[in-house]
Amino acid sequence: MALPENRKLVAGNWKMNGTLAFLDTVAEMRVGAAGGLAEADLLVCPPATLVSAVATALDGSAIAVGGQDCHAETSGAFTGDIAAEMLADCGATHVIVGHSERRQYHAEDDATVAAKLRAAHRAGLVAIACVGETKDEREAGNALAVVRAQVEALLDDTITGANTCIAYEPVWAIGTGLTPTVDDVAQMHTSIRETIAARIGTDEAARLRLLYGGSVKPSNARELMAAADVDGALVGGASLNAADFLAIARAC
């Protein structure tokens, strides 16, 4: 399903977790979100092997389905890769691009991520483009500048609030239980919004959802989601548990 704009979005990134047995958890999520949540839109991004089955299991529900990565090309000799069009064909409406684990383990640079973002749009998918600084970059006082450069590398005139979300995921906060302070999150999100506005205009930038990701849990979601310019969450570990995932969405 296409998600309406200007509501918070809580997206689950399952990473390399889940087999067909996980459809039981998906069924729990479907029941828990029946009729839609007042607080937020929901999206799950299973591994590519499960996109089709999860999309079928969630058909007609309030939960949308996305991929975790896509190739920049439509088709061709790229063994092991998956085109954005293939994800759309399986029922996905969204795709994550440029996750720090892709940047780190698959050497994806800003140009590659930008090409994947355009591929997502070509296939009619909403791109969730990830940015974020490392621990060293934050400690050196460079977090804002690093993330601004990552965002600028993604921007062109085709970016809209409807076709793109940006997820700010500090690398040091992913899977560590650590999170930035609420003030740091707000400062970063406001800076990202300003960077986007300088390119596509203030009104369009206001419609583009900025997600925070990195150790989001039911216990910290309310405070993080209330921070200025935070329009939702990209959740890793806690999205593998239906109760936790729904609790995060309800905390928005």
Binds ligand 13P by CB under 6 A, chosen from 150, 191, 195, 215: 215
Pick the binder of ligand 13P from 175, 198, 223, 228 (CB under 6 A). 175
CA–CA separation, 171 and 145 (whole Å): 15
Q: Which one of the listed residues 94, 99, 121, 189 is annotated catalytic?
A: 99
* Whole-angstrom distance, CA of residue 249 vs CA of residue 252: 6
Q: How far is residue 183's CA from residue 118's CA, in Å, rounded to a whole number?
A: 32
Q: Does 235 bind ligand 13P (CB under 6 A)?
A: yes
Task: State yes or no: residue 179 binds ligand 13P (CB under 6 A).
Answer: no
Contact between 154 and 114 under an 8 Å Cβ cutoff? The reply is yes
Q: Which stretch binds ligand 13P (CB under 6 A): 24-32, 70-78, 84-92, 168-176?
A: 168-176
- Match 């490392």 to its residue by tokens: 134
Does 124 bind ligand 13P (CB under 6 A)? Our answer is no
Answer whether 109's CB lies under 8 Å from 103's CB. Answer: yes
Side chain identity at residue 73, one-letter code? E
Active site residue 169: yes
Residue 97's Cβ-side half-sphere holds a number of Cα atoms within 13 Å equal to 34
Applying CB under 6 A, among 8, 13, 67, 246 the residue interacting with ligand 13P is 13
106 is catalytic: no
Tokens of residue 21, six digits: 């047995």
Choose one: 25-33, 112-120, 139-147, 209-217; the region binding ligand 13P (CB under 6 A). Answer: 209-217
Site for ligand 13P in 45-64 (CB under 6 A): none
Spell out a b/e string for 109-129, using b for 16 or more CB atoms within 10 Å of the CB, else e: ebebbbebbbbbbbbebbbbb
Which of 18, 67, 91, 237 lies at the binding interface for ligand 13P (CB under 6 A)? Answer: 237
Catalytically active residues, by annotation: 99, 169
- Residues engaged in binding ligand 13P (CB under 6 A): 13, 99, 169, 174-175, 213-216, 234-238
